[in-house]
Amino acid sequence: MATILLVIFYVLTPLAIIQLCRSYRWVNKLGAVIIAYLIGLILGNVGLLPRIESSAAVQDILTTLTIPLAIPLLLFSTDIKKWFSVAGRTMLSMLFAFIGVVSTVVAGYFLFRHDGVADLWKVSGMLVGVYTGGTPNLASIKLALDVDETIYVVTHTYDLIIGVFYLLFMLSVGQRFFLTFLPAYRHTDPEASRIEDFDGKDPYRGMLTKKYLVPLLRAFGLSVLIFGVGGVMTLFLPESAQMAVVILIITTLGIIASLIPAINRTEKTFELGMYLILVFSIVVASMADIHRFVAASPSILFYVTLAVFGSLLVQVILSRIFRVDADTVMITSTAFICSPPFVPVVAAALKNKEIIVSGLTVGIIGYAVGNYLGVALALLLRGF
């Protein structure tokens, strides 16, 4: 009975979190993922879970299932055609952002690898994932590389803290600062782009109505099938490589499935995927030992800071050389560092609607390739 209650708690608590975000503006600003982590940390460190003998088994099952099921759902709504329709300067800025993230993460690895952080190469992979895509990539790479729960939570917590300072800079003095050495944005048609996604409205509203529920169940069934295909493929691989390969196979199949119009047009698949991310966040945070968190090396904080602001510096330097405008630099950097939901926020601060679509597209590209980059770089750095 206790096991069933624990599963129900993990699976249904995100509903309460979503309702809180819907009801209280300050909670919504704080973010559903942060609330999920706080709930998980409290649950895991007040002495409740140790009394449930099967809690570890429940946690292992949920962490193993949620991310592989979420990845295809997050990718089903991806519009591959838009990847190739982004303006040239945006593509150039995106390339510079990729270079910035990878180069600073690699530099940080060699700078901090002797500071006592176990498996720092895994942290490197997660940072590349989260700063080219977002939390889903961070969670996917955590699972693919079998990252310790406490190290994962520490890394993500520092990411959230540094992200606040990054976003405050972008929303306040960022544009004025960058315009001192980058060209201004040249408007073509101020009304060409409209805020369609991530516009501040409740994205979960209506998901349980017949209009959305039946198509979502079909999409979820396809996600289960993709997970199954990935699982079968691992039967031919050594155990040490199985989870990493599963994540990459699932990512690839999710992108391929997005090319099918009927799947691509299914509404609310991204939101359902993010719901699973919330479940994962609560579970993995409840597995973290807060005493180990307090004792964690400050090197991870310094590493995260370097990854965020170092990657921005590299991107700005390259953009200065190739004359990429300030607004485009800011929106592509935001799409990578903070993920697509923050693109309209920064665009509004810049008073520039034209860059929203390109910013969202860049962020979605990051979601799709972040798993590949993160796993590949981590495995490469492990050899050094």
> Checking phi first, is residue 147 left (phi over 0); if not, alpha (psi -120 to 50) or beta?
beta
| Torsion, CA 235, CA 137, CA 327, CA 97, rounded to 10 | -60
Cβ atoms of 362 and 94 within 8 Å: the answer is: yes
Chain centroid, CA 259 distance in Å: 22
Cα distances (Å, whole numbers) of residue 235 to 140, 214, 264: 20, 33, 30
Q: How far apart are CA 107 and CA 40, in angstroms?
A: 33
Chain centroid, CA 334 distance in Å: 12
Half-sphere exposure of 304 (CA within 13 A, CB side): 26
Residue recorded with tokens 């101020």:
190
pLDDT at res. 197: 39
Q: How far apart are CA 230 and CA 232, in angstroms?
A: 5
Q: How far apart are CA 155 and CA 292, in angstroms?
A: 13
Cβ atoms of 276 and 97 within 8 Å: the answer is: no
Q: How far apart are CA 56 and CA 170, in angstroms?
A: 41
Q: How far apart are CA 151 and CA 300, in angstroms?
A: 9
CB neighbourhood size of 233 (10 A)? 15
pTM here is 0.72
Structure tokens that stand for 77 in this block: 């709504």
Polymer length in residues for the chain: 384
Q: What is the amino acid identity at position 66?
A: T
pLDDT at res. 200: 45
pLDDT at res. 123: 95
Cβ atoms of 157 and 37 within 8 Å: the answer is: yes
SS3 180: coil
Q: Which of 370, 101, 83, 155 is nearest to 248 (CA)?
A: 370
Q: What is the mean pLDDT of each run of 10 residues along the chain (384 residues)?
A: 83 89 79 81 73 72 84 80 68 94 96 86 94 84 88 87 84 90 76 41 74 90 92 72 73 87 89 86 76 69 95 96 93 87 75 76 83 93 86
Q: How far apart are CA 38 and CA 26, in angstroms?
A: 15
Q: Which of 198, 188, 187, 178 is nearest to 329 (CA)?
A: 178
Q: How far apart are CA 166 and CA 177, in angstroms?
A: 13
> Checking phi first, is residue 351 left (phi over 0); if not, alpha (psi -120 to 50) or beta?
left
Domain ranges of the chain: 80-185+206-266+294-382
pLDDT at res. 302: 93
pLDDT at res. 67: 79
Q: Which of 274, 217, 197, 251 is nearest to 372 (CA)?
A: 251
